Chain A
Amino acid sequence: MNGKDVTFLEDTFKKFYFEHFDLLHVPDDPNQREFGYQKFNGGMNRHISLKSDKELHLLLMQNKPSDVYCSNARYMFPNLPMSEKDWQNAELIFDIDAKDLRKEHPKNNTLIKCSECNEISELGESCPKCNSTKLSFTTLTCDDCIKSTKDEVLKLNKILIDDLGINEENIKIFFSGNEGFHIYVHKSEYESVGSRERAELSDYIMFRGGIPETFGFRKFNTNKSSLPKFDDVGWNGRLAKHLFQTKSNRSKISQEILSGGYALFQKKLENFRDSIGIKIDPNVTQDIHRIFRLPGSINSKSGLTKIFVEDLKKFDPYTDACFIDDEEIEVAANCPIEFSLKKKKFGPFNNEQVSVPKFAAVYMMCKGVASCV
């Protein structure tokens, strides 16, 4: 990112923070948390300790960060190097991101950037200019992606409550600021469990590692009655609903499953992972030393804000998390596809100078498809 763009974004982010201090708070126990931030074109600064909202606001004003982070872990000495921090516990966090849900890039919402010649173009298998296949993909606003991500969050919530016994009021959903959600679990007995235990929880939620015996299919002497039933609790019940669709189908489909044999059922179970497993990012859940984007802060991948979601169904991130003002700005835009923010459509822009509201200018600059003029 060039110097002019950096200055523009830094000033815009700083203005946002100054006007929205009410959105930015340290957690209840700030003394135990590790904070971190990044600057545009800069590396990560972490192992920072902040004691109050005031110190946080000062950091934002002094450093003009592109991104701000806070640990889900609590430490005795959060500002010491990792091995000396003395980890105490950590909230359980799940990350559901649209990129992990889709099998392929959404055609109308994705653009490609060539790593060889920097050409930006509509989705394709190679660079139209130099034919290189070294490409990076950038997704712009995509309602379908958000919709499927929300569905996944709801499925996760049900498992957290029904299976893992978590109180609904202790589950808080945040829009990540780009194209996903962070689900925080507060005040649970899972706070004390380590990384390996969290990896197991991830596998459970993602339906990974299931064996046929768990679902009543033994190598020998299996009969229909031992296969999952509609009213079973946990994964047995969910698998039954997926397999049989209706109760009346159970007998017929059970017979088919038994005829297929043990090995085939094992294979099927592995495949069901894609259809019924919840698509969380397991690395996020099992990393107990991670620093997460601070709620209320801007995500520099989009210019949108990470915010608490009160009503998931009604939530529209492209309006509700877009806090930058609408002052008209001139930018050089090279955005070959259309995108929507605050219910307005923008683009496509073909290497042209355009006047757009600041929130759209920031969005495009963060996505790497526009520059200050």
Chain B
Amino acid sequence: MIAIFKLSWYTIVMVNLGNDEIVKYPFLTEAGKYLNDLGFSLEQFGTDPDLKKIVDNAFERIITSSEGRIFKSDPSSNNSALPLEIFSFLIAVILLKLSGMNTLIRRFSLAEARRAEKFLEKDLMNHQDITKAKLSLQILQELFSVTVEKIDEEFTILVSDYLKHSINFHEREWKLINRKVTNGKVHLTPHETVRLVRKELDRHIYTKINSSSTPEMIIGFETYVDKLKQLAKKFEVKTVESKEFPPCIKHAIEVLEKGENLPHSGRFLLATFLLNKGQTVEQIAPLFKNAPDYNPKVTIYQLNQLSGISGTTEYKSPSCEKVKSQNLCFPVPACDTIINPLQFGRKRV
């Protein structure tokens, strides 16, 4: 018999959760404890008709997340609804593990992160119940090591903490330059504060699901699992790639062809790009022949280093953000949707 307590993938966080908090943040340890105390077994969910509603709910929770929507729940409802809410999350995790479909786990984690984000934001602004506001601050501190201070209606966090999270965003509004920054602190609205940790919240849930053990197939779950496997096929992505170089690479080649000096960062971009695209050191080296300071030995040595032949690291082509910061970016409309020059010309079919 596989008992519920085998779902031991929750880490211990030192947050005291009440019943409604477990519904809001079921990925926290107290949710596991909550179920553990109730002493259910997984087999019961596959066979007991009274529990079928929970499995249906769990399945629905996955479907909703796969469509990019957030599972609706009402944490303020009465206590009798609580097991359904929490069980549906846990059974959803079991179904996902049994299906082994990573694409669904990714979508589920993100949807759950966004769901929790809404509650966190609401709690953060809760002026009536100070303990709720405190709890949300505590969650931010303990799960994501972000110390948030509240000043009137604004929240502030250390610039260094902000950067560790904001670098995951590609939207320009998250750049530090587009924030109010004073005395080592970044000022944020409650929405922004919570939004800042969405990716980590997503990763936190995803890692927890991935690192949990997969149970053996449970009688009664087969149909759900088969349906999920079918569903995952919908999200398989096939891409085609054009042979055209992005404008930053074209520019680098043009500069070299003219015999002008391409800065070190430009040479690094060009070399890593072509190496990552599968060209050999011997194919790339002649490109640098026209550089004012060309030295064949040094060029081959450096290309070997970048390719990982000589060293231990194979260098990756820098991101668009980095290329921009080095004044080597000359964007065209096709660049709008990419974050690394290597993705240029890649299209989904």
Chain B residues within an 8 Å CB radius of A192? 160
B residues 148-184 in Cβ contact with A at 8 Å:
158-160, 163-164, 166-167, 172-173, 175-184
A200 touching B176, Cβ below 8 Å:
yes
B182 touching A190, Cβ below 8 Å:
no
Chain A residues within an 8 Å CB radius of B322? 199, 286
Chain B residues within an 8 Å CB radius of A233? 180-182
B177 touching A163, Cβ below 8 Å:
no
CA distance A207 to B344 in the complex (A): 27
Chain A residues within an 8 Å CB radius of B211? none
B173 touching A283, Cβ below 8 Å:
no
9-residue interface stretch from A56-64, A210-218, A297-305, A314-322: A210-218
CA distance A133 to B173 in the complex (A): 43
B185 touching A165, Cβ below 8 Å:
yes
Chain A residues within an 8 Å CB radius of B164? 193, 197
A214 touching B178, Cβ below 8 Å:
yes
The tally of residues in B whose CB lies under 8 Å from a CB in A reads 33
Provide the A172-195 mask, 1 if CB < 8 A to any CB of B, else 0: 000000000000000001101100
B326 touching A282, Cβ below 8 Å:
yes
Count class of interface residues, chain A: 35 or more
Provide the B178-218 mask, 1 if CB < 8 A to any CB of A, else 0: 11111111000000000000000000000000000000000
Chain B residues within an 8 Å CB radius of A136? 292-293
Say yes or no for A221: interface residue by CB 8 A criterion: no
> What distance in Å separates the Cβ of B259 from its nearest Cβ neighbour in chain A?
6
Out of A83, A189, A196, A210, name the residue touching B160 (CB < 8 Å): A189
CA distance A136 to B90 in the complex (A): 67
> What distance in Å separates the Cβ of A43 from its nearest Cβ neighbour in chain B?
9
Out of A193, A197, A211, A283, name the residue touching B326 (CB < 8 Å): A283
B182 touching A204, Cβ below 8 Å:
no
Contacts A199-B325, A208-B325, A214-B177 known; A165 to B292 CB distance under 8 Å?
no
Most buried by B among A199, A233, A286: A199
Chain B residues within an 8 Å CB radius of A124? none
Chain B residues within an 8 Å CB radius of A133? 259
CA distance A133 to B160 in the complex (A): 46
CA distance A136 to B292 in the complex (A): 8
> What distance in Å separates the Cβ of A199 from its nearest Cβ neighbour in chain B?
6
B173 touching A211, Cβ below 8 Å:
yes
CA distance A209 to B160 in the complex (A): 19
What are 19 of the A-B contact pairs (CB < 8 Å)? A82-B312, A166-B184, A189-B160, A193-B160, A193-B163, A199-B322, A200-B175, A201-B176, A203-B176, A204-B181, A208-B325, A209-B175, A210-B177, A214-B177, A235-B177, A236-B180, A283-B265, A286-B322, A286-B325
> B: which residues have CB within 8 A of A?
158-160, 163-164, 166-167, 172-173, 175-185, 259, 264-265, 292-293, 311-313, 321-322, 324-326
